[in-house]
């Protein structure tokens, strides 16, 4: 049984709404969040390049840049394992919601 200070393991979440606060708690280090922001921005740039050029390798470049930056953020700065290892879909969704929230000033950058 978990108390209010310990979030439940990622596999116990029944919805993304339940998962997102946990996701944010796994990104408390500012440098980690900045690495996520960089990776997501590079991913968006690569998607734009894919749309502009029609070259499919930009999809791969975007995924590689996004995940590389995020994993560096976790392993080097946050010192935890990325949530994508246990909840890949919720983690992917959380990354984009956090990215939006950083642009809106709801999550500090």
Rounded to 10°, the helix 16-25/88-103 angle is 70
- pTM for the model stands at 0.85
All residue ranges of the chain with pLDDT < 50 are 1-5, 10
Scanning the structure block, which residue is given the tokens 């990215």?
99
Percent of the chain with pLDDT over 70: 90
Q: What is the pLDDT of residue 82?
A: 84
C-alpha 97 chain-centroid distance: 8
Distances (CA, A) of 13 to 3, 42, 94, 98, 106: 15, 29, 13, 18, 23
């Amino acid at each position: 049984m978990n108390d209010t200070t310990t979030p439940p393991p990622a596999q116990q979440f029944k919805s993304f709404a339940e998962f997102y606060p946990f996701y944010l708690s796994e990104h408390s280090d500012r440098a980690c969040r900045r690495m996520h922001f960089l990776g997501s921005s590079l991913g968006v740039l690569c998607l734009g390049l894919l749309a502009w050029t029609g070259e499919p390798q930009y999809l791969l470049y975007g995924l590689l840049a996004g995940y590389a930056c995020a994993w560096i953020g976790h392993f080097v700065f946050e010192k935890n394992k990325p949530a994508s290892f246990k909840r890949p879909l919720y983690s992917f969704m959380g990354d984009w919601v956090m990215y939006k929230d950083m642009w809106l000033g709801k999550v500090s950058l």
